[in-house]
Chain A
């Protein structure tokens, strides 16, 4: 466990996904408890149909970066850039405030769409016709590098990939940088895109029959792929209104030890059969178990969206998402939370557990 010796705050959140872009769009989806996946009618080149997915648009990125500067960026990097800029804006910062900023991106898939497209182009047209731009955007750290370059961030820069545990691993690193005084702020976020490679894997592993809705606590497989980016701007400086603290980051296996009281556990239960038993065990231990996965879909870095949702719940003093116990889903059935645990399981039973806490005596934003 990384218990934060230095007090670390979540100064800003930024997210883009199937629900839209920005906090207001995310909050609207959270209040509704879900959003609709986009049906994809075209066929994959190999004849396999595309499964419905929670797809994200990055049009809003032109509010922050000139279009010409974006032309070499693929969808994956654009998702990262938009999520990062939205988190900065939420914290009241601009790219001029980023000199002492570290950047960490967590990704389960990485730039697989561009990487496979680049490899396909070599197979189809020969290596002499391989695109140098595609090569440069297929490397693993491209999104984090673009973020730092666009924001003129001179702090350390890292991309972490541990599939479902990527976000927890990224937070371990972020806390190390902040506690050692290496930087004053860290922009840390989860980014994953849906692309033909992921679509192929869904068809291969789970068949082409898909659930109509993602049911986080169902025993049936109901995972619907999602994509997007969710970022936290972490800092050691106390924000003025509704300061949310990052108090614990832990990795382990089995049922996480909730060392301090927690009002709500936000589960990354995203409809995958392999992880469902672990969340069911958690449900037995934790009455106030909720999930927001029907708002953003299934993706390895879904925990980043849960952390953004938890921050919103603490700021707004109310519960969002679906409760594991259906009778407690009515409005007003969940008291205003002060502490929220966010838990993400991998298929082997290992977990990442992150706890956020609203600082006592704080004023409502």
Chain B
């Protein structure tokens, strides 16, 4: 499973998005607001989930804001920071 596929699975299963499947999430969809409709509590949850599943820490807003734009940006951040 690729990082993007794993991320989509985490979004649906761990954030309990019961009204969408992983396959329905586009790589470029915004995670917050108009896109998947996630909110600030989801952002905190995502930071924890990325650390738990990929061992990558999002340390602050400066890192988090650009990384948490879409599946594409988050996957790229994980790839860059994985040991």
Q: Chain A interface (Cβ within 8 Å of chain B)? A: 67-68, 70-72, 125, 128-133, 136
Contacts and interface: CB of A to CB of B under 8 A. Distances in A.
A132 B51 contact: no
27 contacts: A67-B18, A67-B19, A68-B17, A68-B18, A68-B19, A68-B37, A70-B18, A71-B15, A71-B17, A71-B18, A72-B16, A72-B41, A125-B52, A128-B48, A128-B51, A129-B48, A129-B52, A130-B48, A131-B45, A131-B48, A132-B41, A132-B44, A132-B45, A132-B48, A133-B41, A133-B45, A136-B41
Contacts of A70: 18
A68 B41 CA distance: 14
A16 to B, nearest CB: 19
Contacts of A131: 45, 48
Tier of interface size on chain B: 10 to 19
A72 B48 CA distance: 16
Of listed B16, B18, B45, residue having the most chain A CB within 10 A: B16
Contacts of B44: 132
Contacts of B51: 128-129
Nearest to B42: A133
Interface string B43-76: 0110010011000000000000000000000000
A61 to B, nearest CB: 11
Contacts of B19: 67-68
Given A125-B52, A136-B41, 14 more contacts: A68-B18, A68-B37, A70-B18, A71-B16, A71-B18, A72-B16, A72-B41, A128-B51, A129-B48, A129-B52, A130-B48, A132-B41, A132-B48, A133-B41
Nearest to A121: B52
Contacts of B15: 71
A133 B19 CA distance: 19
A146 to B, nearest CB: 14
Nearest to A66: B19
Nearest to B20: A68
Nearest to B57: A128
Which 3 pairs between the two chains have the least Cβ-Cβ distance?
A71-B16, A129-B52, A67-B18
Nearest to B15: A71
A75 to B, nearest CB: 12
A103 B68 CA distance: 38
Contacts of A129: 48, 51-52
Contacts of B48: 128-132
Contacts of A133: 41, 45
Contacts of B41: 72, 132-133, 136
A71 B41 CA distance: 12
A129 B48 CA distance: 5
Nearest to A129: B52
A160 B44 CA distance: 31
Nearest to A133: B45
> In this complex, which of B18, B44, B52 has the most chain A Cβ atoms within 10 angstroms of its Cβ?
B52
